[in-house]
Amino acid sequence: MDHSALGRVFVETTDGVRVEMGPGEISFGADQHSKPSADGDFGHRSGTVGDEPATLMVVQLEDPKFVAARPGFFK
């Protein structure tokens, strides 16, 4: 399959770290205990990169070990 026409997304944390992802890539969003930005915002922001639409699959985990996870938990 030619992935060049499939959309990409970005996730940016309140401290300004930005990651871009494409088809087949995974992001674990464990930012429940994030620090607020200078504007008082928590968590992250996200969106599409470029003009191609992106399709996402979101899975929520309720197990407490995932809810309390810190960055690098799965390393």
Tell me, yes or no, whether 73 lies in a domain: no
The domain tally of the chain equals 1
The pLDDT of residue 3: 56
Which two tokens mark 56? 């996402």
Gap between the Cα atoms of 32 and 39, Å rounded: 17
The pLDDT of residue 41: 76
The pLDDT of residue 14: 79
Q: CB of 69 within 8 A of CB of 29?
A: no
Tell me, yes or no, whether 26 lies in a domain: yes
**HSE on the CB side for 70, CA within 13 Å?**
1
Q: Write out the residue range of the structural domain in which residue 50 sits.
A: 3-67
Tell me, yes or no, whether 38 lies in a domain: yes
Gap between the Cα atoms of 1 and 38, Å rounded: 43
Tell me, yes or no, whether 32 lies in a domain: yes
Smallest CA-to-CA distance from 24 within 59, 61, 66, 55 is with 55
Q: What is the pLDDT of residues 23-63, one digit of tens each?
A: 888 877 665 566 777 787 777 788 999 998 998 888 777 77
Tell me, yes or no, whether 75 lies in a domain: no
The pLDDT of residue 8: 93
pTM: 0.62
Tell me, yes or no, whether 42 lies in a domain: yes
The pLDDT of residue 68: 60
